[in-house]
A and B are shown apart, each in its own frame.
Chain A
Amino acid sequence: MSLENIAPSSPVIHIRGLKKSFGNNAVLRNFDMDLNPGENVVVLGKSGSGKSVLIKCIIGLMQPDEGDLLVFGDNVPTLSHDDLDKMRVKVGFLFQSNALYDSMTVRENLEFPLRRHWIRTGKENVNDLVMEALTNVGLADTVDMMPGELSGGMRKRIALARTLILKPKIILYDEPTTGLDPITAKEISNLMLDIQKKYNTSSIIISHDMNCVRITANRIVMLIDGYCYANGTYDELKRSDDKRIRQFFD
């Protein structure tokens, strides 16, 4: 099913009762959440609480043990490999470590996701797509550089450009500002808002950087002890007097 034939109000990602453990380590215990069209949802949780595991399950890099995980109405854990690839064209993933291919130039990095779609795009359009994505992250002049020559903030932007090149409808951000200085972190947060408007995307943003959360979040889901502990806007949760919620805001 594609986005077009879903009613506008129904969620693009729908998760119920998600469970995932590694041996005795139960990471996700009964996790529920929805992502509505056009929305930026921040998943907030301590380090090691299973945030990365959650979005890796969504993109199909990990197989959950139990639960429903619907992306555009398709249950991800049951998809065949080909259908999974089709789903992944619509869902971009920004890795915490950027995962830029360090043996390739910026251009080759951006072209890599297009390999699968050469035929559809046509080779002559590839350059336009690369330049469009780079321009949208403000780094058009780095196209022939190697990732190793770029600063941390620039690498994050290139990684975002590589995600944007397939024009995804959903973007999953894994700690997009971790390891960046506060000023660069703020620039990246604002860039994420720009992208939301320009590309009309919905996003799940994993973070514990409260500045980033304040800027980007339309709604916050708190992942504590493997389930959705709280759910609300930044201001709602900030006013809460629950100790476990407060500790993120103080």
Chain B
Amino acid sequence: MKSGFLYNLLTETADIYRFALRFFKEGFRPRYEFGELIRQCYYIGNKTLGLVGITGFIMGLVITIQSHPSMEAFGAESWLPSVVSVSLVREIVPVITALICAGKIGSGIGAELGSMKVTEQIDAMEVSGTNPFKYLVVTRVFATMLMIPLLVILSDTIGLYGAYLGVNMKQVVSFHLFTNQVFEKLTYADVMPSIIKSFFFGFAIGIIGCFKGYNTTNGTQGVGRAANSAVVAATFVVFLIDLMAAQIADILHIT
């Protein structure tokens, strides 16, 4: 049974790899489905904006409140904003945002494409002269690649407001002083890797959701399975990318 699991994992990885190659082959060649791309971007933003914003705010607030006692013990309270903001921007916000999007968007794409597959809608596109891979897959993957970094930037900003509130719960700090303390430590070398990382998160979520949906079999039952396994696989890959990103940043001394 163990070898069966490993076998399935490897063949699935190979299939996703081929699917991703097809994305690069078809994604950069006309004709481009701009209208559908904009629609998907709007849809993704609209669907996750509220949740991502609230989560970012809560994370900023909570991390600040919880870090406060230990910073106070070292007498380093003035370092609180910079420490919190670096961990928010570098790690917490991108990963939490990606996980939320894996859950909401990954499963949505898996279920939508899955039901289109089993009700022959994808075949119907093919016979009416629209390349369904371009129309459905390429647009969705580009949309997640564009939108997740944007959502991360937004969530970063809201998270910092949360941190500001958290700092002010124990002592009065002006917003001016807070931002000065934050940007003393937070630099482009923290922000850029996190944006680049979220780009890859977006790609992984989009491509896995599309792969699972596009290859759905077994009717309605398969649709549920596609949505579910899209979330599981995307979540796993998000952590994998995060691990690799940390290693690469370390090697390149972006610390």
Contacts and interface: CB of A to CB of B under 8 A. Distances in A.
Contact of B126 (A61, A98, A100, A101): A61
A148 to B, nearest CB: 12
Contacts of B128: 88, 112-113, 115-116, 162, 166
B120 interface: yes
A229 interface: no
Interface in B124-158: 124-130
Interface in A44-103: 56, 59-61, 85, 88-89, 93, 95-103
A113 B129 contact: yes
A93 B127 CA distance: 8
B33 to A, nearest CB: 10
A101 B126 CA distance: 13
A85 B129 contact: yes
A97 B119 contact: yes
* Size bin of chain A's contact surface: 20 to 34
B130 A116 contact: yes
Nearest to B119: A97
A152 B165 CA distance: 57
Interface string B94-130: 0000000000000000001001100111011111111
A88 B116 CA distance: 20
B143 to A, nearest CB: 15
A115 B119 contact: no
A99 B130 CA distance: 14
19 contacts: A61-B123, A61-B127, A93-B124, A93-B127, A97-B119, A99-B119, A99-B120, A99-B123, A102-B115, A102-B119, A102-B121, A103-B112, A112-B128, A113-B129, A115-B130, A116-B129, A116-B130, A162-B128, A166-B128
Interface of B: 112, 115-116, 119-121, 123-130
Given A99-B123, A112-B130, 8 more contacts: A61-B123, A88-B129, A95-B123, A96-B120, A100-B121, A116-B128, A116-B129, A116-B130
